[in-house]
Each structure stands twice: as C-alpha cells, then as structure tokens.
A = this chain, B = another copy of it.
Amino acid sequence: MNVLEKARRMLKAKAVRPTMIRVRLLAYLLAHPVHPTADQLYQALLPGFPTLSKTSVYNTLDKLLEVKLVRLITIDEKETRYDAGTGVHGHFLCKHCSDITDFAANPDYTGCTELSGYQIDDCNVYLTGICKVCLQNINKTQKEEKAV
C-alpha cells in the first residue's frame, strides 16, 4: 500500500473527508518525518499542486491536529513544526545544524504529587544541544586549527 492510500485510510478512520490537500499533506508528513514547518510543507507540495495556498496548508494542519493525526512541535520558538509520527517520542534539536532527532521517550508522570488529580492529555519532551555529527565536525575543525 502506498503512502497516499495509507493517508487516505487514516483520514477516513477519523471521519475526515480525504480531500486532495489533506491526503497529500498527511502523506508527505508520513513519508518525510523531518518535522517540517508550515512553509516547508507549502513549498514541498506546491510543484505537484499549483493551486495550493498557504492558508490551505494552515487550515489542513488545523484539521489534522484536531483529530490528532498530527502533533505540534514547539521546540523552536521561532516557528511551529509538525509531526505525523505516532506514539510518544521525544525531540532533540541540534543548536548547530537545526536538525531535529526523534528518540524513545515515554515518561510517566501519573505518580507526580504536584499533578495529582490532573488530566494529562499530551506529553512533549524537548532536548537541545549538539548532535553527534556536529560535535565531530567541531572537533575536526579545532584539530586542524591547532595544526596550523
């Protein structure tokens, strides 16, 4: 089953009309788990969908958020990112290359005294730092500078 069909079924399962935009946008998110911004989604879908408007991207994302097929990621305060990845997982933002890496995280705060009696609907774990690749590049550069 290709990703378009998969997206179509996911939408139907949530009783959301599987319109062109919705299917394509969800399919893109499923096929490209890189947490794109709204603008990146717009730019990516535009070639295959020339009548697409930015507003429609936002409308579509709102609808997908509403039925929880998509999650918001606010790890970067500059712009919101979107993720169709299911299941709880954390996000690591590299301050050097701005890439976001997923990692396994399923924290349990039900026993937390401060939150006793609270209804917890959603959980996001955001880490920031420097990723492996950037660390290696930085080390390499420093050695070269020393050598000079």
Contacts and interface: CB of A to CB of B under 8 A. Distances in A.
Given A112-B104, A115-B103, A126 B124 contact: yes
A120 B84 CA distance: 25
A121 B126 contact: no
A136 to B, nearest CB: 8
| Band of interface residues on A | 35 or more
9 contacts: A74-B75, A74-B77, A92-B118, A103-B112, A103-B115, A107-B125, A109-B125, A118-B129, A119-B131
A115 to B, nearest CB: 5
A90 B5 CA distance: 39
List the number of copies, as a whole number.
Answer: 2
A10 interface: no
A56 B139 CA distance: 37
A21 interface: no
A77 B116 CA distance: 26
A127 B47 CA distance: 37
B109 A127 contact: yes
